[in-house]
Chains A and B, each alone.
Chain A
Amino acid sequence: DGGITQSPKYLFRKEGQNVTLSCEQNLNHDAMYWYRQDPGQGLRLIYYSQIVNDFQKGDIAEGYSVSREKKESFPLTVTSAQKNPTAFYLCASSINAGNTGELFFGEGSRLTVL
């Protein structure tokens, strides 16, 4: 079953803790993205990666970190430096950087900081 898998679906974290959200794709896509979705805010770009071992900051990268060691994986770490981490996080991929308009999304991970 091809697609993007995000885990966990729901995650609770205490303040001051780092947490890592997983994103795996078996679509053989080169490019991957992380967006944050807040009510009334739409989707905002956190980080993106056009190719393995390379990634760039998006509009709201502060307090987040990523890695892209494998083509199929693009984990996002929400660090304790992120001031307002409670949100819905969406991972997406595209065939390559040139097809960035056609994104395939995961089901999302909802992070709640207690």
Chain B
Amino acid sequence: AQRVTQPEKLLSVFKGAPVELKCNYSYSGSPELFWYVQYSRQRLQLLLRHISRESIKGFTADLNKGETSFHLKKPFAQEEDSAMYYCALKNQAGTALIFGKGTTLSVSS
């Protein structure tokens, strides 16, 4: 079965603290994983994808096939990082994305 699990509904951290948003997946074969972000009053948008191995706004995510995880990390959280974050997996047919339930990140000063 293809599935994306984000175990935390809400993650609250202080400004400057490290952030790790957890994402685990279930998939047969080589998965393609993504992180999407939705800031307040803005559209849902792509943050990063694992195949690019990029860092966007200080966030990185590494695919760990052994642990079937794709956690999103940032060493020093900023208040503007407060948003809803969704982990997503391309389905087996390659035709659409399967999304997790999302994690709300709240960064306070």
Where the two chains meet, the residues of A that have a C-beta atom closer than 8 Å to any C-beta of B are 33, 35, 40-45, 48, 50, 56, 58, 90, 92, 97-98, 100-107
Count chain B residues whose beta carbon lies closer than 8 angstroms to a beta carbon of A.
22
Closest Cβ of chain B to A27, distance in Å, is 13
Q: How many A-B residue pairs have CB under 8 A?
A: 52
Cβ contact within 8 Å between A42 and B101: yes
Cβ contact within 8 Å between A101 and B95: no
Cβ contact within 8 Å between B44 and A97: no
B90 within 8 Å of A by Cβ? Answer: yes
B residues in contact with A104, CB < 8 Å:
45
CA separation between A22 and B90, bound complex, in Å? 25
Contact of A102 among B6, B46, B94, B96 (CB under 8 A): B46
Cβ contact within 8 Å between B32 and A105: no
Chain A at the B interface: SS class: strand
Take A42-B86, A42-B101 as given contacts and tell me if A106 and B32 are in contact as well, using a CB distance cutoff of 8 Å: no
Given contacts A90-B44, A103-B46, 4 further A-B pairs with CB under 8 A are A42-B102, A43-B44, A43-B86, A100-B95
